[in-house]
Structure 1
Amino acid sequence: MAMRLLALFSALVLLLTLSGSVVRVLSLGVGINYGQIANNLPSPSRVAFLLRSLNISRVKLYDADPNVLSAFSNSNIDFVIGLGNEYLLNMTDPIKAQNWIEQYVQPYLPQTKITCVTVGNEVLSGNDTRLMSYLLPAMQTVNSALVNLGLSKQVYVTTAHSLAILAYSFPPSSGAFREDLAEYIQPLLNFHSQINSPFLINAYPYFAYKDNPDQVPLNYVLFEPNPGTTDPNTNLNYDNMLYAQIDAVYSAIKAMGHTDIQVKISETGWPSKGDPNEVGATPENAGLYNGNLLRRIEEMQGTPAKPSVPVDIYVFALFNEDLKPGPASERNYGLYYPDGTPVYNVGLQGFLPQMDFSAAKINTRNSDLSTLSLLVCFIAFLICA
């Protein structure tokens, strides 16, 4: 028993020593997408504990799940919540928009830090022109509801786009939106400028490599050492595709008359597994992509065209999701398996407890109590192991 207690004490000392440095990259502001298209995920209260142990401070949802928002009460984690495309028509109605805010946002504030509502996802890269026509009015109406309720200073409105809205992405300085989308994008950019909200892009260099592995250098898309490529118009060198894509979006926005809108990456990631025709979907490549990306975020890097603006990114995704439709890769973007074990090693060390914890037990407003609760659970884990 004495030897076991000594081992436990040593483990505690080690944990205390590392608690300020483990996964410090995530505490600098990288976000994580928390998707739930699965039938085997841990409860939201357990997930809240896992994210606390990882020092993750920002989470993006695809809905406004009350169970999640309640579980993260007093967690000091910033939340992006989502309105699916199926809500767009209803959200053009001021009464319905305000009712939604009153039901899914207002009751959770300020205990749960909801900071953003995304209205729709990748609407402009689809084929439904009627849905496209609803997008901006829905965003405007949701924003007006937030204004009416006195919440617009703490909760902003935006939407997320696919890179397919670009007609040109290389060289980055020649980035331009598709001409057929100009009638939607121009007023959308004016709205972003008016309310000072960011332009969100879902960017996946993996797709470019998968579709053309003979022409796209793997090291270039994985942030591995490579000579890079130079933009002939600016003479800026790009050693990775993601940063080139971000600057291409900035160029496209500038071409429409705006230099006052920040570009953020609402999704990026790499699958650890895929179908036989999905080239490059391996744990090794996924580990390199996300690990190298996290290190660059830790360094607070900007892109070549915006060196003083650190990239703002939500990694996709927290868990593998076994019910997602489509190719095998769609179900294998997670950093973690649902049981809390890492899919591959990118230096993350988190703890998924075996039992549920109430929101009160993950209150991080008092960091000493939060650390203490984490240590107690860690001791329990060691004793039961």
Structure 2
Amino acid sequence: MMAYFPFFVFVGMLVLTYLQIIDAQGIGVCYGKNGNDLPSTIDVVSLYKANNITKMKTYDPISETLPALKGSEIEVILDIPNSQLQSLGDPQQADNWVTSNVVNYVQQVKIKYINVGNEVSPVNNATSQFVPFLLPALTNVQQSITKSSLQDQVKVTTAIETGLLATTYPPPQSAFREDTIGFIKPIIELLKQNNAPLQANIYPYFGYIGDPVHVTLPYALFTQEQPDPSGYPNLFDAMLDSVYYAIDKAIGENNIEIVVSESGWPSEGGLGATVENAATFYTKLIEHAKSNNGTLHRPGKPIQTYLFAMFDENLKIGAETEKHFGVFHPNKTQKYNITF
């Protein structure tokens, strides 16, 4: 017998489904402030809204950004920098941080994730000193979120880089390095216990410049016409699935989702860094992330993705390319013709 639904219930279900699809497919953009020529935070929030950018990852100091986000309906990742991890090993400090930056704003700001630490790794000389502090900080922030009854609304996670992997190709053979498994496995298990995703920074650009002989530019830019010998149509999917396969090997069968917390292509400053290549990458990435194709290992759903970054940041240190990842100029004009 066919069940009967009142018309308004049916319409409501359709609207809810539509909103869920829109939420899943929204593309985020990372908002960094490492420049001396950037617009005000209020203007940046307005720029997100004017361009239909519905998700933001914001970096420290978030205290400047949270007030500007009130009532904006922009979904937010709050980033806790590595320099604060040691202090959050104190449960009281974690409580204070959550109260100041989450509890005090969550009624007016759509806080989705707290990203505790960025690319902390025992094999990365730039971040290895933070390794002892990451898991305690994650644990304490999670406990504070739970005590605030926000565990279903705000997920606590961390962002990794692919340097934790021993092999990345072909993706099914990927695994975490033996000297990193003791570090990453309890973190993944904590995320699984709390139904939280893992965040990963996926940069095909660095894969390309690291081995341009074997990694072709079209493969990195989503423009290669035929899949590679492993069956992957592009480097982004291969890199993302390599992390999924490594997680599978570390903890067995799981349903942990990966949020691509950063991905981008520079417009100048190094090999392959041109406006044309960057425009192609960002355009193709947005199309791919919003499709229902997923990856070979996780097919059939959109990929939560955050473009890096909103602006060129002229004060960033490191390679010259680090200053040229913006999709907007500091004067708020688009560098590329991107539809978000």
TM-score (norm 1): 0.79
Q: How does 1:1-385 map to 2 (within 5 A)?
A: 28-124=25-121, 125-127=123-125, 129-231=128-230, 237-256=231-250, 257-274=252-269, 278-347=270-339
Structure 1: which amino acid aligns with 2:295?
A: T
Asked if 1 retains the 8 angstrom alpha-carbon contact of 2:85 and 2:116, the reply is: yes
- C-alpha distance in 2 between matches for 1:223 and 1:55: 24
- C-alpha distance in 2 between matches for 1:324 and 1:182: 31
1:166-186 per-position Cα deviation (integer Å, ceiling 9, x unaligned): 111111111100100111111
1:238 alignment partner, SS class: coil
Asked if 2 retains the 8 angstrom alpha-carbon contact of 1:163 and 1:202, the reply is: yes
1:230 alignment partner, SS class: coil
Aligned pair in 2 of structure 1 residues 347, 113: CA closer, same or farther (>3 Å)?
Answer: closer
Structure 1: which amino acid aligns with 2:52?
A: N
1:152 to partner: Cα distance? 1.9
1:314 alignment partner, SS class: strand
Asked if 2 retains the 8 angstrom alpha-carbon contact of 1:25 and 1:298, the reply is: no
1:315-338 per-position Cα deviation (integer Å, ceiling 9, x unaligned): 101111111011211010000001
**Which stretch shifts more, 167-176 or 56-65?**
56-65
1:16-45 per-position Cα deviation (integer Å, ceiling 9, x unaligned): xxxxxxxx9999311110011111111111
1:144-170 per-position Cα deviation (integer Å, ceiling 9, x unaligned): 111112222211111101110111111
- C-alpha distance in 2 between matches for 1:259 and 1:26: 23
1:229 alignment partner, SS class: coil
Aligned pair in 2 of structure 1 residues 114, 211: CA closer, same or farther (>3 Å)?
Answer: same
2:35 alignment partner, SS class: coil
The answer for the alignment partner of 1:13 in structure 2 is none
- C-alpha distance in 1 between matches for 2:295 and 2:148: 37
Structure 1: which amino acid aligns with 2:124?
A: G
CA RMSD of aligned residues (A): 1.8
Asked if 1 retains the 8 angstrom alpha-carbon contact of 2:112 and 2:155, the reply is: yes
**Which stretch shifts more, 301-310 or 115-124?**
301-310
- C-alpha distance in 2 between matches for 1:328 and 1:310: 32
Asked if 1 retains the 8 angstrom alpha-carbon contact of 2:224 and 2:234, the reply is: no
- C-alpha distance in 2 between matches for 1:182 and 1:293: 30
**Which stretch shifts more, 104-113 or 237-246?**
104-113
1:305-324 per-position Cα deviation (integer Å, ceiling 9, x unaligned): 21123211111011111110
Structure 1: which amino acid aligns with 2:149?
A: G
- C-alpha distance in 1 between matches for 2:102 and 2:254: 31
Structure 2: which amino acid aligns with 1:242?
A: F
Percent identity of the aligned residues?
37
1:241 to partner: Cα distance? 0.3
Aligned pair in 2 of structure 1 residues 332, 175: CA closer, same or farther (>3 Å)?
Answer: same
- C-alpha distance in 1 between matches for 2:151 and 2:90: 18
Structure 2: which amino acid aligns with 1:301?
A: N
1:219-242 per-position Cα deviation (integer Å, ceiling 9, x unaligned): 1000003222133xxxxx211001
Structure 2: which amino acid aligns with 1:248?
A: S
Asked if 2 retains the 8 angstrom alpha-carbon contact of 1:303 and 1:310, the reply is: no
1:38 alignment partner, SS class: coil
- C-alpha distance in 1 between matches for 2:299 and 2:152: 28
- C-alpha distance in 1 between matches for 2:256 and 2:57: 20
Q: Mark the runs of 5 or more structure 1 residues left unpaired by the alignment.
A: 1-23, 232-236, 349-385
The answer for the alignment partner of 1:16 in structure 2 is none
1:270 to partner: Cα distance? 0.1
2:276 alignment partner, SS class: helix
Q: Mark the runs of 5 or more structure 2 residues left unpaired by the alignment.
A: 1-20
2:65 alignment partner, SS class: helix
2:260 alignment partner, SS class: strand
Asked if 1 retains the 8 angstrom alpha-carbon contact of 2:25 and 2:302, the reply is: no
1:80 alignment partner, SS class: strand
Structure with bigger RCO (C-alpha 8 Å, 6+ apart): 1
1:268-292 per-position Cα deviation (integer Å, ceiling 9, x unaligned): 0000011xxx210000000010111
- C-alpha distance in 1 between matches for 2:195 and 2:236: 24
Aligned pair in 2 of structure 1 residues 130, 328: CA closer, same or farther (>3 Å)?
Answer: closer
